[in-house]
Amino acid sequence: MELSKCSLEMLREMGLRSVEELFADVPKEIRTGGLKLPEGMSELELRRELGTMLSSNRTSSARPCFLGAGVYNHFIPAAVKAVVSRSEFVTAYTPYQPEISQGMLQSLFEYQSYMAELTAMDVVNCSMYDASTALGEAVLMANRISGGDKFLISRAVSPEKKAVAALYARGADIKIIEVAYEPTTGLVDLSDLKSRLTEGVSGFYFETPNFLGPIETRCSEIREVLGNRTMVVGVNPMALALLKPPGEMGADIVIGDAQVFGTPMNLGGPMIGIFGCKSDHVRKMPGRLIGMTTDLEGRRSFCMTLQTREQHIRRSKATSNICTNEALLAVTAAAYLAVVGRSGLRQIAAKNVENMKSLTSRIGAVKGFKAPHFKAPHFNEFVVKSDIPAARLHDELLMRGIQGGWVLEGAFPELKHGTLYATTEMHTRQDHDRLLTVLEALR
């Protein structure tokens, strides 16, 4: 590698002849002698090659996609992208120096404020990696709050989340026990829940709407049944524009994913885990918190606070190992909510319900299909049962350029021929028509 004039000058000033002298402490026996990677590309070459490579991806903008299952396709106003791509936000590190980082800190405080309002929880941290890891952390936190060595999780939870929660629980020697859902409503089976509340159970996690679509209608009964055990509720924050918030139903911890607020699907990453709790539990909480304070001149200011919970101070005694989180997505969520406003958000959420209503009734009207499978209120996601195997339905749709819902029977064998469909404000009447045309041809 030829050195630049400046590099040579720097070496000369240091009394060295080559950069190699700076690696004199790396023993010969462990030298690799370079990297076996192709030569570098120009920006133009990269753009061409990457463009070609990625062009084989079939996008939701090119053809209708009815997948949800935790990642949703929502509209993103141009103003959101514009403000969030400000490089002062994008290229900053964690705001360790608050005096020079007020922009990020105030934006994160605003994110926390938006989430606290939507969920009606006292405290929401400034993000976890995604909802699945938020659940993992919630299992650990429930254990810190209520003690015990077991934790209950509703069966109507995504297999991805269950897998992640299982891993987090395993690390802490906590046993996860599943609670059944009612076969007709898809809601938490209260009698099964009661029967599983044995000694050592620290808490229970359920969702509303749950993974299979139903909105839980008996949260207060669940709260009562749990007694002083920790109640962890999973939400779709978009649905909270309309629905009674978990904070009003006695939740101790609330988790969810704020990807729906301004972040594209991006093949499922990055996402942004919401993590909120009651103020009593704040010192047991994982993740960064932004607090309000004042500066020397008495001006309102923001900084990271209660850091004694965190790894860089407490090391092995920290409440979590999390350091890097999803800060920029939190700013995105705040900017999204600011742009759409309360009225806009409620209209968007209502449009989701309307599309769900319309699509379920149209699918349900086709012979050989039932939608929604569960007798319960839904938001924008629901189970479709078909006379034909779900995998065949999937293939038939794919052949006609439609990405159908998620085939359930692998993870939920009891839902034979079941598929999980999502529809958002992004679907037009024509998108629904295209799906219906195929379904009708199949009957």
Partner 1 sequence: MRYHQAVHEVPVIFEGCEKAPAEGGFDPTVGGALPRELLRSELNLPDLAERDVVKHFTNLSQMNFGVDNGLYPLGSCTMKYNPKICDEVVSWSSVTDIHPLQDPSTIQGALKLMYELERMLCEIGGVDAVTLQPAAGAHGEYTGIHLVKAYHEAKGETRKEIVLPDTAHGTNPASAAMVGYDVLELPSKEGCVDVEALKSAVSKDTAAFMLTNPNTLGIFEKDVIEIAGIVHDAGALLYYDGANLNAIMGKTSPGKMNFDIVHFNLHKTFATPHGGGGPGAGPVGVKSSLQDFLPVPMIVFDGQKYSLDSSRPKSIGKVRAFFGNFAVMVRAYAYIKMQGGEGLQAASENAVLNSNYIKEKLKGDLELPYGNLRKHEFVLSGKPLKSKGVRTLDFGKRLLDYGYHAPTVYFPIIVDEAIMIEPTETETKETLDRFIEVCKAIIAEDPELLKAAPQNTARRRLDEAKAARDMIFSWKAFEKKSAGKA
Q: Which of residues 26-55 bind partner 1 (CB under 8 A)?
A: 26-27, 29-43, 46-47, 49-51, 53-55
The reply on whether position 297 binds partner 1 by CB under 8 A is: yes
Dihedral-angle region of residue 127 (phi above 0 means left; psi in -120 to 50 means alpha; beta otherwise)? left
Pattern 163-182, binding to partner 1, x per CB under 8 A?
Answer: xx-xxx-xxxx---------
Between 168 and 205, whose beta carbon lies closer to partner 1? 168
Check residue 145 and report its DSSP letter.
H
The piece of 145-153, 193-201, 366-374, 398-406 that touches partner 1 (CB under 8 A) is 398-406
Site for partner 1 in 303-362 (CB under 8 A): 303, 305-306, 310-318, 320-329, 331, 334-335, 337-339, 341-347, 349-350, 353-354, 357
Task: List beta partners, residue 403.
Answer: 65
* Residue 412: how many other CB atoms lie within 10 Å: 18
Min separation Cβ 195 and partner 1, Å: 27
What is the CB neighbour count within 10 angstroms for residue 389?
13
Contacts of 122 (CB under 8 A, 6+ apart): 116, 247, 276, 277, 278, 279, 282
Question: Is residue 85 within the footprint of partner 1 (CB under 8 A)?
Answer: yes
Among 6, 199, 413, 430, interactor with partner 1 by CB under 8 A: 6
CA–CA gap between residue 385 and residue 174 (Å, rounded): 35
Structure tokens at 80: 């959101």
What is the rounded CA–CA span in Å between residue 330 and residue 336?
10
Shortest Cβ distance from residue 220 to partner 1 (Å)?
A: 11
Among 160, 207, 252, 431, binds partner 1 (CB under 8 A): 160
- In total, the chain counts a number of residues equal to 443
Encoded one letter per residue, x for contact with partner 1 by CB under 8 A and - for no contact, window 191-210 reads --------------------
Q: Is 130 in the site for partner 1 (CB under 8 A)?
A: yes
**Residue of the chain from 129, 211, 374, 412 that contacts partner 1 (CB under 8 A):** 129
When binding is defined by CB under 8 A, the residue of 74, 132, 226, 262 that contacts partner 1 is 132
Residue 102 identity:
Q
Among 270, 400, 411, 440, binds partner 1 (CB under 8 A): 270
Which of residues 12 and 194 has its CB atom nearest to partner 1 in the complex? Answer: 12
| CA–CA distance, 26 with 159 (Å, rounded to integer) | 46
- Closer residue to partner 1, CB minimum distance, 135 or 179: 135
Cβ(229)–Cβ(202) below 8 Å = yes
Site for partner 1 in 225-254 (CB under 8 A): 240-245, 248
CB of residue 181 to partner 1, shortest distance in Å = 18
The partner residues of 178 in beta bridges, in order of sequence, read 153
**For partner 1, the closer CB: 331 or 435:** 331
Residues touching partner 1, count (CB under 8 A): 189
Q: Which of 291, 396, 400, 440 binds partner 1 (CB under 8 A)?
A: 291
Among left, alpha and beta (phi > 0; psi -120 to 50; other), residue 200 is left
In 3-state terms, what secondary structure has residue 369?
A: strand
> Residue 428, interface with partner 1 (CB under 8 A)?
no
Residue 396: CA count within 13 A, CB half-sphere: 17
CB 191 → partner 1: shortest distance, Å? 22
Nearest distance in Å: CB 145, partner 1? 17
Whichever of 135 and 193 has its CB closer to partner 1, that residue is: 135
CB of 366 to partner 1, least distance (A): 21
Q: What is the largest CA-CA distance in the chain?
A: 84
Rounded Cα distance, 89 and 92, in Å? 6
The 8-class DSSP code of residue 296 comes to: T
Smallest distance from the beta carbon of 50 to partner 1, in angstroms? 6
Q: Does 413 bind partner 1 (CB under 8 A)?
A: no
Q: Which two tokens stand for residue 411?
A: 């993870």
- Nearest-CA neighbor of 253 among 149, 373, 125? 125
Helix (H) or strand (E) holding 207: strand 201-208
Give whichever of 117 and 440 is closer to partner 1, judged by the CB atom: 117
Residue in 95, 186, 237, 256 binding partner 1, rule: CB under 8 A: 95
